[in-house]
Amino acid sequence: MSPLILSAAGVALVLDRSGPGLPRIRHFGRDLGPADVTELMPVLESVVAVPRLVPAQADAWYGRPGLSGSRAGEHWPVRWNLEDLVVKATPGSGGTVTVTCSDREAGLELVSEIAMDVRGLVTMRHTLLNVAATLYRLAGLTCAIPVPARARELLDFTGRWSLEKVPQRRVFEHGVWSRENRRGRTGHDGTGLLVAGTEGFGFRTGEVWAVHTAWSGDHLHYAERLHEGTALLAGGELLESGEITLEQGESYRTPLVYFTWSGGGLDEASGRLHDHLRETRPLPVRPVTLNNWEATYFDHSLDRLLALADRAATAGIERFVLDDGWFRHRRDDRAGLGDWYVDEDVWPRGLHPLADRVRELGMQFGLWFEPEMVNPDSDLAREHPFWILGVPGRLPPPQRHQQVLDLARPEAYDYVLGRLDALVTEYALDYIKWDHNRDIAEPVHAGVPGVHAQTLATYRLLDELHRRHPRLEIESCSSGGARIDFGVLARTERVWTSDANDALDRQSIQRWTGLLVPPERMGSHVGAPHDHITGRSLPLAFRAATAMFGHMGVEWDLTTASEAELTELAGWIALHKRFRPLLHTGRVVRADHPDPTALLHGVVLPERALYAFAQLTTRVDSGPAPLRLPGLDPAADYVVRRVGPLPPNAAVPGWADEPIRLPGAALAELGLPGPALRPASVVLIEVERVQRV
């Protein structure tokens, strides 16, 4: 058969359908134009070791196999035969390809699905079916796409609690660079995106390819280069021995794996991911949110919370979320998880006095849960000790005085669903903050490794709550940013980006998390003047300007704020609301700014843009570098003005005092004179398109 091309938005994927086995991806990258791809095949075929959709030795691939498993203790190398190939595609608009293959001797069938959306984003997944009478033990099944020889560098991310998404770069050499997660959740060190690119690629320059696995349990991403000249990116679920066994007629389907390409740096590749999420899960306006955790912790005095709600409404906050501590026995973090009943001693009239007052003030009301967890010191654990995920009769190592509830056990699932449903109904909850505060250790369900079953049960629970309560919004919080992936984002409206509210750390955390997640889904709060994690004290303007470029909120005891601070905060919230339609729908851009002590980023729509220049630490150079504004139309004219309060003692050039008019080409190439700012200062720049005279 002739080669097949999927193309959209300047991206092309060329699929070589010549059998007898699975097709090969000969090209994923820049659109090849109107050329006859058949004529290009001699060039595309010059790399001899290009793997098929599931890399295997039978196809002369001597790297990591895409499928591994065994049958009755015997290893069966699979040789796929192409059975069927269905194409639904329109040139320039993407499309889908469904490939069916089989190996009768191995007793397996495979259905591979490849899709390209109108933005050029590619998804892939495989479904493996056991058609033989004997048990098949699946060890691994991944999705992979080859990348060309010019992809010479790798970028991925590590991190820890309160400092997620720390970038790390390396040369893409021979061998495998594998990021494997066995924490039972995506993890603070979850890489999110594994990126391969041309040497020196940046946000606005270079060619990049990236992979993301949409799965909230154990997973892997890896890059591999062989000496034959072939390299690839791959991702999938990371399975433990015995976790997936297939009886005759049973199947396993991989998570969706996303592949994105850009010819102009990370921003373009990131934009394809943002567009996909926005189009598949559109959201209403994102209300400014106050969470009471760092304001009151476990002190649930009604008078104190009512006073906090009053101050929140005064500042213009639109949603009030009551965090941990409202349920039975929960006076600290050692007891009560799983006892999802309002504590009668602390709340003798239930949560109604607070919820009613919050709504009288014009705010939505939300509540914190940690549904997948249980404290051993709880009524639930005492009554149902075998609902704990682990080896019966032996508790896994404790973390945070808690264990994991086995949601794949029907009785445990039904209990949690029933309690959440009852509370959402009784209090007409607008919002759930859904936490997950520990890694999963020794996850044994029904005698086998249980992360796969636990993850699917969590997804079912989220899906069912949304089905019963269509207006309910859910935030995925996992001790901060430890569960951020497209699997959970397909079922939630927001992620808690990090437990760090220190705005200096947040500048970097949000910058890199934002490669995957658009701003309106990243919880970003104004913290207290003195941060309890880092010990830093930062100006309110810097904290608020940092929080503006996300789903803005507040994590601060406003009853301790002065009237001047409350007025200033209200001004920043009003500024956020003014720009919210832009910030939550526009294209995120990040400048490759030459000064490593500062960041320049923005959000751009065709008619309007907002940029932030943040001076993080003291400059090395005596003079500031020009601010070259990315993402504007070079052929258009723009009016540029500073918005928001000016940082104290800032030396800001004349463009900040009076609006100036410049063409987009000049703003991108020459830029604006850079302001001289003290550390922990931000200047906001508004850019509006005007009619060219």
Q: Which of the residues are catalytic?
A: 435, 499
Residue type, 461: L
377 has binding-site annotation: no
> What angle, rounded to 10 degrees, do the helices at 410-426 and 451-468 form?
30
463 has binding-site annotation: no
119 has binding-site annotation: no
291 has binding-site annotation: no
Q: CB-hemisphere CA count at 13 Å for 207? A: 13
The DSSP 8-state label assigned to residue 402 in this structure reads B
Which residues, 6+ apart, have CB-to-CB distance to 431 below 8 Å? 289, 319, 321, 364, 365, 366, 367, 472, 473, 474, 475
Q: 56: phi > 0 → left, psi -120 to 50 → alpha, else beta; which?
A: beta
Q: By C-alpha distance, which of 613, 600, 597, 616 is closest to 679?
A: 616
Q: Where are the alpha helices (DSSP H) in 530-663?
A: 540-548, 563-583
In whole angstroms, what is the distance from residue 641 CA to residue 652 CA? 12
Q: Reading across the β-sheet that carries 660-663, which strands appear in turn?
A: 587-590, 598-605, 608-615, 681-690, 637-643, 660-663
At 52, give phi and psi (nearest 5°).
Answer: -80, 180
Q: By C-alpha distance, which of 104, 112, 50 is closest to 76?
A: 104
Alpha-carbon torsion, ordered 454, 455, 458, 460, to 10 deg: -110
CA angle 396, 400, 405 (to 5 degrees): 50
In whole angstroms, what is the distance from residue 549 CA to residue 572 CA? 12
Q: Reading across the β-sheet that carries 136-141, which strands appear in turn?
A: 67-71, 136-141, 244-246
143 has binding-site annotation: no
The CA–CA distances, whole Å, from 612 to 49, 601, 603, 643 equal 46, 6, 9, 10
Give the largest Cα separation in the chain, rounded: 79
**Tokens standing for 476?**
């995925």
**Tokens standing for 327?**
């349920």
368 has binding-site annotation: no
Q: Where are the beta strands (DSSP E) in 351-502?
A: 364-369, 373-374, 403-404, 431-434, 444-445, 448-449, 473-476, 494-496
| Concatenated DSSP letters of 123-152 | EEEEEEEE-SSS-EEEEEE-EEEEE-TT--
CA angle 148, 153, 154 (to 5 degrees): 105
In whole angstroms, what is the distance from residue 647 CA to residue 543 CA? 12
In whole angstroms, what is the distance from residue 441 CA to residue 186 CA? 14
Residue type, 417: L
The distance in angstroms from the start CA to the end CA of the chain is: 55
436 has binding-site annotation: yes
Other beta carbons less than 10 A from residue 274's beta carbon: 24
101 has binding-site annotation: no
435 has binding-site annotation: yes
Residue type, 373: M
At 547, give phi and psi (nearest 5°).
Answer: -70, -25
Annotated binding residues, as ranges?
A: 161, 323-324, 400, 433-437, 477, 499
Annotated binding residues for substrate, as ranges?
A: 161, 323-324, 400, 433-437, 477, 499
